[in-house]
A and B are shown apart, each in its own frame.
Chain A
Amino acid sequence: KAGVTQTPRYLIKTRGQQVTLSCSPISGHRSVSWYQQTPGQGLQFLFEYFSETQRNKGNFPGRFSGRQFSNSRSEMNVSTLELGDSALYLCASTRGGTLPYEQYFGPGTRLTVT
């Protein structure tokens, strides 16, 4: 079974630009979560989608947004990039529904903002 895939793997953007990251969950998984990982802050929760609906949102500014498609694939968008947005963005998927809630991560997208 293929794992969680994320594209692109690496991205370099300029401050003020916007970026879209893509995530394909494990087949059959309906829940997708996004995290920002930085050396100083660890894993910070961005948002979680289940069946195209955002169920949870972390404490990030409105510049961070996401969506989920009917095939469970998800995208996240960051507008008006700031230097502090440089991070590893991780996508994770679960089946959703009842426990055990095994969550599997993708390899991440390394975003560098210059």
Chain B
Amino acid sequence: QQQVKQSPQSLIVQKGGISIINCAYENTAFDYFPWYQQFPGKGPALLIAIRPDVSEKKEGRFTISFNKSAKQFSLHIMDSQPGDSATYFCAALWGNQFYFGTGTSLTVIP
């Protein structure tokens, strides 16, 4: 059973556009929600994270929007660049274990 559901599976965006990746969860005990970026041949890199008591967190071009009542959170990449082309994973923490979404392959077209 997938504890964190991520969509879309793949995304193609024009350079300068906004990329939006969504995640949904059921377990209200999750208390930390990070996003990871992974390039081919590399391990995932922590991008940005949020706690459930905050509705939005912004770091540079990356923003997490968190909707506690809907049990959803999303990653917004503003002014998307070709260098942002990678696989993105959302995750949620419960106790000492992280639960990951299945990943979104983002391609930014020049």
A residues whose Cβ falls under 8 Å from a Cβ of B? 4, 31, 33, 35, 42-43, 45, 48, 50, 55-56, 90, 92, 96, 99-108
Given contacts A103-B46, A107-B43, contact A56 B95 (CB under 8 A): yes
Q: Are A90 and B43 in contact (CB under 8 A)?
A: yes
Chain B residues close to A by CB (< 8 Å): 31-32, 34, 36, 41-46, 49, 51, 89, 93, 95-103
Interface of A is mostly: strand
Q: Is the CB of A100 within 8 A of B89?
A: no
Q: Are A105 and B44 touching (Cβ within 8 A)?
A: yes
> When the two chains form their complex, are residues A42 and B103 in contact, meaning their CB atoms are under 8 A apart?
yes
**Given the complex, which residues of B lie within 8 Å of A48, measured CB to CB?**
96-97
Q: Among the listed A99, A101, A106, which residue makes an inter-chain contact with B43, where contact means beta carbons less than 8 Å apart?
A: A106
Residues of chain B contacted by A99 (CB below 8 angstroms): 31-32, 51, 93
Residue of B at shortest CB range from A6?
B43
Q: How far is the CA of A104 from the CA of B45 in the complex (A)?
A: 7
23 contacts between A and B (CB under 8 A): A31-B96, A33-B98, A35-B100, A42-B89, A42-B103, A43-B103, A45-B97, A45-B98, A45-B100, A48-B96, A48-B97, A50-B96, A56-B95, A56-B96, A92-B43, A99-B31, A100-B51, A102-B34, A103-B34, A103-B46, A103-B98, A105-B43, A108-B42
Q: What residues of B have a CB within 8 angstroms of the CB of A42 in the complex?
A: 89, 100-103
Are B43 and A108 closer than 8 Å at their CB atoms?
yes
Q: How long is the Cα–Cα vector from A107 to B41 in the complex, in angstroms? A: 8
B43 neighbours in A (Cβ, 8 Å): 4, 90, 92, 105-108
**Cα-based distance from A107 to B44 in the complex (angstroms):** 8
19 further A-B pairs in the complex, CB-CB below 8 A; given A42-B103, A96-B96, A101-B93: A33-B97, A33-B98, A43-B103, A45-B98, A48-B96, A55-B96, A56-B95, A99-B31, A99-B51, A99-B93, A100-B49, A102-B49, A103-B46, A104-B46, A105-B43, A105-B46, A107-B42, A108-B42, A108-B43
